[in-house]
Amino acid sequence: MVERIEIFSGRDVAVVGALHDGAREVVITFTPHADGPRQPGYADKLLDKHGVSAIHFIHRDTHWWQTPEMASAVAAVDALDLRSHFTSVVTYGSSMGGHGALLFAKALKADRTLAISPQFAVGGRNAGWKKQWKVSPELYRYEDVRSETARTTILFDPRYPFDRAHAEAFMAVAPVETVHVPFAAHDVSAALAEIGLLSGFVLDFVAGREDLDALRRAIKARRRDSLVCLNGLLHRLERRSQNGRMLAGVREQTVRLFLSYLEDGRKMHLKRVMQTVVAPHLEHLAAQGDRAGGVAIAERLCDIYPKSLEIAALLSDQLAADGRMGDAYQTLFRCFRRNKSSGPCALAACGAALQAGLEPEAQRLLAKALELPRQDANSWLRFLRVWHDRVPHELAVRGYKIAAALEPEHKNLKRVGRLIKASPGRPWRLFGFGR
């Protein structure tokens, strides 16, 4: 039986517990950076499924855990006296979550810490990450708050300079055990999940029976079955040269692996494969005159990711290129219906409606987009850059103001502002606008 409790609730941080009867270990997790609304606790489904007690620190803003609320949040966890209920305490997280897991291992009295691709610091230290993030002054520095007793394990890609620099900074301060996942870049968790190593290793680590040497051997044996790692190798080779037998072989192998994922309905790390694998393959099919093949691949991706705007846009583009403008619009409209609070989805559907000549539908979608809670500056600026002369001027101005409020320093803000100012837009008088 599991007891779910709210341990702390603040403006910046929430802490929730899922405590299982009879569990000997407790995992304290920290969420990684993510856009959008509040997310669940990190690894909550995995831990819950296997009856592992967990306490989840959940960020409500991208503060890198540098918020005064952390003192109260940690104190609330400390009041639970975990040591009297569990034989071991583990902190765990990835990226920003790994940063938090390492920063607060001592304060949370952890025995061990597992951090995947963590950041050492976000405030500079005259290092290469000095200007990577805009954050408040650091309230917690690893050099000052590190645990001297917790056993620390870091997983990272040694061929990815940014994460390697952070890992080396940790190793310069304290003893650290490391596991390398070559060519995964920052997506080590995704790579390990693809080759079936992440869940088992995390559970073994929590139970104190992890075998790092066995994990290293398994990664070496299986990494070519990871689309993330193979794509990382492809990207590295492409940076060196656009030609060569090795590059051609890796490209072919990557496409083959992608198509096998597609056939099996397996999820993949879309951010990594869209530009280097999917888009080039679809361009290759188009050059061969195989538009139907491109549509079929995009449709299959839509089956796997029914709520993804990126995939819906990909399918819409394939359909539009095949002259099927109405179907292209319907694809994005269905995506919006699955994401009814998403301004970006409404704008994408609105653009497709305009492209298909469906102005009444475009009118309704644009009006809806202006009122939705989930807005995005990039989406508005992309939409206005293309369609500023096809929508009522006053509505274009309203959309521009939303983008300006969200990201006042956006690099494209002034450019789009000039376009709107120079264009009166279409009045849509027949539909109630511009009177």
Cα 127 from Cα 173, distance rounded (Å): 15
pLDDT in tens, 418-434: 999 888 766 554 344 43
How far is it, in rounded angstroms, from Cα 114 to Cα 92? 5
Interatomic CA distance for residues 150 and 115, integer angstroms: 12
Task: Report pLDDT for 432.
Answer: 44
Residue 34 binned pLDDT confidence (cut-offs 50, 70, 90): confident
Give the 3-state secondary structure of residue 123: coil
* pLDDT at site 133: 64
User: Of the given ranges (86-90, 134-138, 276-280, 308-312), which has the lowest mean pLDDT?
Assistant: 134-138
Angle between helices 309-321 and 291-304 (to 10 degrees): 160
CA separation, residue 132 to residues 61, 123, 129, 376 (Å): 17, 9, 5, 21
Closest CA to 143 of 131, 127, 132: 127
Q: What's the confidence (pLDDT) of residue 129?
A: 62
pLDDT digits (tens, 9 = 90+) for 253-285: 999 999 999 999 988 888 778 888 899 999 999
Per-residue pLDDT at 407 exceeds 80: yes
Whether pLDDT at 132 is above 80 = no
pLDDT at 39: 72
pLDDT recorded at residue 336:
97
Report the mean per-residue pLDDT for the chain: 91
Q: What is the pTM of this model?
A: 0.83
